[in-house]
Amino acid sequence: MHFHQTLVEQTTPARQQLLDTPIIRGALGGQVSVPSYLAFLREAYHHVRHTVPLLKAMKAALPDHHRWLDAALDEYIEEEAGHDEWILSDIAACGGDAEAVRHGPPGVATEVMVAYAYDTIRRGNPLGFFGMVHVLEGTSVSLALLAADAIQKPLGLPDAGFSYLRSHGTLDQEHTAHFELLMDRIDAPVDQQAIVHAANVFYALYRNVFLSLPLPQSSTDAGAGAGAATPSGTTARPTEAIA
């Protein structure tokens, strides 16, 4: 069996737990609110802004026998640059305060997920970071475009508020095919185990990010439009203890 297929199979239960979070199920069913969407974008900004630094850190930490990955990582770095600014533009288009998000802190769940990514690279096996790539890009491909439509339509938000979900979802479809080829070239059991382990951890950590987001309080929230946002556009701090 090719390693990518093994990776998918050995992380399927953790993936399903992520997809079963109430806010994801609700969003795909049209149970949404502007504060919830803005909270999602805030947390997305605070992990996406680390994507390029993490990729660079991974590249720098690779042992010599994995230098064949340099070109692929350079391509990832080039394509991921600026995606955090897409998110800030989306926040502004939906009536939020993009600068408050830029200069504000992430939620605890997001902070822990990012910290684990750096720790995996610096203290563990740097190839473990591919576990995070598998989680974020795989989730994006399966959900981003569907979620964009399911969120935008009931809230009546502008197209300009969904550049991250729609553009990233489309790009990640291309990345996923490339990622599969890369994974199938990794044949050392120790590296494969590190990637599977990290992916399962990242699924759990990413699930905690979604569990930390505020749920729509009622059906009237979902139809409230941009006026449902708080004056700062950042909403109240999400409840980290929902999990």
pLDDT at 193 over 50: yes
Rounded to 5°, angle at Cα 160 from 157 and 162: 75
Name the CA dihedral angle for 195, 200, 204, 205, rounded to a multiple of 10 degrees.
-10
pLDDT band at 178 (very low <50, low <70, confident <90, very high): confident
Q: Which of 1-5, 54-58, 114-118 has the least mean pLDDT?
A: 1-5
The residue that leads in pLDDT, 150 or 107, is: 107
CA distance 36 to 23: 9
Q: State mean pLDDT over 102-130.
A: 97
Q: State mean pLDDT over 21-34.
A: 91
Kindly state the tokens that stand for 179.
Answer: 């990622």
Q: State mean pLDDT over 25-45.
A: 93
**Confidence at residue 72, expressed as pLDDT on a 0 to 100 scale:** 93
**Confidence at residue 243, expressed as pLDDT on a 0 to 100 scale:** 26
pLDDT at 117 over 90: yes
CA distance 80 to 33: 28
The residue that leads in pLDDT, 231 or 162, is: 162
Contact (CB, 8 A) for 107 and 211: no
pLDDT band at 56 (very low <50, low <70, confident <90, very high): very high
**Confidence at residue 182, expressed as pLDDT on a 0 to 100 scale:** 93
- Greatest mean pLDDT among 34-43, 173-182, 213-222 lies in 34-43
- Whole-number average pLDDT of the chain: 86
pLDDT band at 221 (very low <50, low <70, confident <90, very high): very low
Classify domain 3-29+42-213 by CATH number. Answer: 1.20.910.10
